[in-house]
Chain A
């Protein structure tokens, strides 16, 4: 079999090539590892929520429209929407759930602060069919105070004991564990650790109000208070279905809207409609208010695919360059093969097989590397990728096909380049490749440097922007602020708690608030009736105590800060953006009515300068700050200190333990919280940086190959120049001058696409700081300098060898 012969020759060639073979395999391995990593990454991103049996038929209902002059684009829906869905043909299952607030869950002496507690309706585990590890199926969530916990939670609270039938307590409610389920895959657009029966919420709400309040909460179309999912029959057209849902919804919602308008004597319109999102598309493409997790952006996927393709291509280019570097030897060999009877097809096959053998070697090394590095990749990039080469047919064949493609692309150039030569040229040693040959080789290096330049510039721009959002003026001072989560645990004795904290050395101010940057702020409808007209506006709100302003060092534009002493329980602080949106001419005099309850009106006591209470992704929006009453729940305690030291934290913890009724002490710095707003960006920037470094490595391998080729090709002239006394520097300059232009061309060529990519990426930011063209120039210089250094080393080594040979 000729194939055996080709494989044998390829292996022996690799052995003989030594350093070149090693460089070739290393280059291919690096490229393949990157390629595989990106494939895993993209697959991970695209396969979100694909693990449920009915994933293709599961949709989330979301809301859009106008409510009190505010555009609504929300992942949440009103509770009664489910009743509309129930009546629709084609709906096979419906689930509503409501994520619970961060709270302490207690089982005996075991207590943890839990953020993954949610309330789900009866069919939760039928729609999201996770494996039930303990307990009966179907899971019964029909009655209140039942809960399903995940395997991890069962281990935490019950260790090796059976969990079903046992009880846990959250916020004073005892829940019976009815089942233990497997963990939700991390590639899901939501997450949970506990799912309690949804109707438990009725009891919880009853503690806050009467049954009418509960009923209103459950039936009001104006409350976007739950997430609604359903399974749609395959035969039903989704778009037609959604149209019908909106028609049916209008019949129910219109009377409520009309009644409200009449009551409030308002002319503002309320328009709500609903749309369905396939759950498999949510992570990839949905960016609504109230998303349950930070979703991905298509630009990242596009960028990754682009990067993977180009890294693999540059890897192939590298292979071509290195394979053809030993031109002279190859030429003769091919010539002799032709003369002993090899056809062109047989020669092409030989080169392709050689490329595949290299590819197999590189793939093996690449897969071992990937297996070894994946845990580190996952940890470094905060991912949870899995690689199942030998466990999944898709992976197995996918990788084999990728290998075949890489082998074919990488081997094609040497194959066609050599096999197409005439034997008399090959054996005569007259192997001039002509100008076109050099240009092609030069362009290969151009492509490698273009990719490297593109990636280093884009990665640099990302880090530049991340530094900008972290370091720039937020309109408040985030330094030295400790954020204690689940602050409500000290609500009953907040004044005492604050007083005691202020005794701790270095503690300057202590404050409580309901929301922090990065949270979804609650919104309240306000009505303004002045000379302009009558209008209703939704305003994001934050309940804070009077020390909030000092802790964040907010700046006043007019009036004063909220004050308990001055009786500001009905007072309000607005930011400048809110004043503009509300079109208040005299903000300190105009009164704002709470829409729906005209008895309540608020006085604006001060206007504060705008500050970034959300991330830099969005423009600074209007904000109202209301004074926290002693009966109101709050989420955070903020402690402003002069500096942070472990003793101080320990003292604060002691005081917390004294007042928090056993709630765990969970704290972070404000800076850490701010950084979390950009963690997705940091993750992407890290990935891009690694890609950039590796593509630079591959580009430099390309330079080594090209220099090797030039030295080989110009062997005689180099030897002669050496003999007649030319310095190595002059030889090096000659070599560099032969391809330096192509490096420069690559660097220039990449600049415009890099600029476009940065602009495309920047479009997700409301505030963006462009890295500047100086960085482009700087990187261009660095890349050219690196190419020069590699040329210097390679030429020095090559010319020494040539001298010895001559």
Chain B
């Protein structure tokens, strides 16, 4: 589903160049739950942004659903992202001006779903993630856990090919973090491909496969719990 060959990412800041990813190779198959593990500054977010087609590599090849995407322009990558990838962020990424229902509905609107379709899908998500009672609430009225649940529902509502989560528990209490991890596991069990970045080894245990990054290099790749 996602294949990377010799991915390298160099970030320029003025005259200073930093290689944040170096010769990364990986393969992510459908319905996998892959965890990218690494300490702060190891290149997790760079890798996840590249996998999620948010960013492109400086060199190397990258395939997403059979398309070579490493040389694509932002607009082309955006077209692949739309409907194909769901994102969950550490700081939730909810739109403050929209309530829970509207936040979940937003991707469907951008994808021009009919109103009836949107309503059906949003109701399903509200129910699935037990958010129905919060549907009129705005992000600033929600707890951190509730916010992240809404973010997951919003990512999932488009029925994506892959869900990418960047430190999804980073702003949560550990108990709440566990709940989020349980939800992600459940989604994976339903067949959703998940790629998650984390610095927590405990959370990494929830994934089927762990790719460990250090200074932009893949240092280990462990396969666990493969079904």
CB within 8 Å of B: which residues of A? Answer: 2, 5, 8-9, 12-13, 16, 329, 332-333, 335-344, 346, 422-424, 427-428
Contact = CB atoms under 8 A, between A and B. Distances in A.
A341 B93 contact: no
Given A9-B98, A344-B75, A339 B93 contact: yes
A370 B55 CA distance: 51
Interface string B10-50: 00000000000000000000000000000000000100010
Interface in B144-180: 154-155, 158
A425 to B, nearest CB: 9
Contacts of B82: 341, 343
B54 A13 contact: no
Contact of B87 (A8, A16, A339): A339
B93 A336 contact: yes
Nearest to B158: A341
Contact of A341 (B45, B54, B89, B107): B107
B141 to A, nearest CB: 13
Contacts of B154: 340
B77 to A, nearest CB: 9
Contact of A5 (B45, B96, B109): B109
B95 interface: yes
Nearest to B110: A341
A336 B111 contact: no
B96 A342 contact: no
Contact of A337 (B74, B95, B112): B95
Given A332-B93, A333-B95, A341-B81, 19 more contacts: A5-B102, A8-B97, A16-B97, A336-B93, A337-B110, A340-B87, A340-B106, A340-B154, A340-B155, A341-B83, A343-B78, A343-B110, A344-B75, A422-B55, A423-B54, A424-B49, A427-B54, A427-B93, A428-B45
A9 B155 CA distance: 20
Contacts of A332: 93
Contact of A427 (B89, B96, B110): B89
22 contacts: A2-B109, A2-B110, A5-B106, A8-B102, A9-B97, A12-B98, A13-B97, A329-B96, A333-B96, A336-B94, A336-B95, A337-B106, A338-B78, A340-B87, A340-B107, A341-B81, A341-B83, A341-B111, A343-B110, A422-B55, A424-B49, A427-B93
A423 B111 CA distance: 18
Contacts, number: 66
A754 to B, nearest CB: 41
Contact of B110 (A13, A335, A346, A423): A346
Nearest to B52: A339
A342 B78 CA distance: 9
A339 B81 contact: yes
B216 to A, nearest CB: 16
A426 to B, nearest CB: 10
A337 B81 CA distance: 12
Contacts of B75: 344
Contacts of B93: 332, 335-336, 339, 427
Nearest to A338: B78
A424 B56 CA distance: 10
A424 B54 contact: yes
A553 B86 CA distance: 93
Nearest to A13: B97
B85 to A, nearest CB: 8
A341 B85 CA distance: 9
A333 B93 CA distance: 8
Contacts of A424: 49, 54-55
A337 B96 CA distance: 11
Contacts of B83: 341
Contacts of B98: 9, 12
A273 B94 CA distance: 80
A422 B107 contact: no
A344 B106 CA distance: 15
A339 B106 CA distance: 11
A340 B54 contact: no
B96 A16 contact: yes
Nearest to B46: A424
Interface in B89-148: 89, 93-98, 102, 106-107, 109-112
Contact of A339 (B45, B54, B109): B54
- The CB with the most chain A CB atoms within 10 A, among B49, B52, B93, B112, is that of B93
Contacts of B81: 339, 341
Contact of A340 (B74, B110, B112): B110
The 3 closest A-B pairs by CB, nearest first: A341-B110, A12-B97, A336-B93
Nearest to B50: A424
Nearest to B115: A1
Contacts of B106: 5, 337, 340-341
A338 B82 CA distance: 9
A227 B93 CA distance: 77
Contacts of B110: 2, 337, 340-343, 346
A365 to B, nearest CB: 22
- The CB with the most chain B CB atoms within 10 A, among A5, A16, A336, A337, is that of A336
A9 B95 CA distance: 10
B138 to A, nearest CB: 9
Nearest to B91: A332
- The CB with the most chain A CB atoms within 10 A, among B55, B74, B106, B110, is that of B110
A422 B109 CA distance: 21
A339 B110 CA distance: 11
A424 B45 CA distance: 10
Nearest to B157: A340
Nearest to A340: B107
A272 B55 CA distance: 83
B87 to A, nearest CB: 5
Nearest to A335: B93
A339 B87 CA distance: 7
- The CB with the most chain A CB atoms within 10 A, among B54, B154, B155, is that of B54
A597 B158 CA distance: 104
Contacts of B111: 341
A422 B112 CA distance: 22
Nearest to B103: A340
A122 to B, nearest CB: 71
Contacts of B49: 424
A5 B155 CA distance: 19
A203 B97 CA distance: 83
Contacts of A333: 95-96
Nearest to A339: B87
Contacts of B55: 422, 424
A341 B75 CA distance: 11
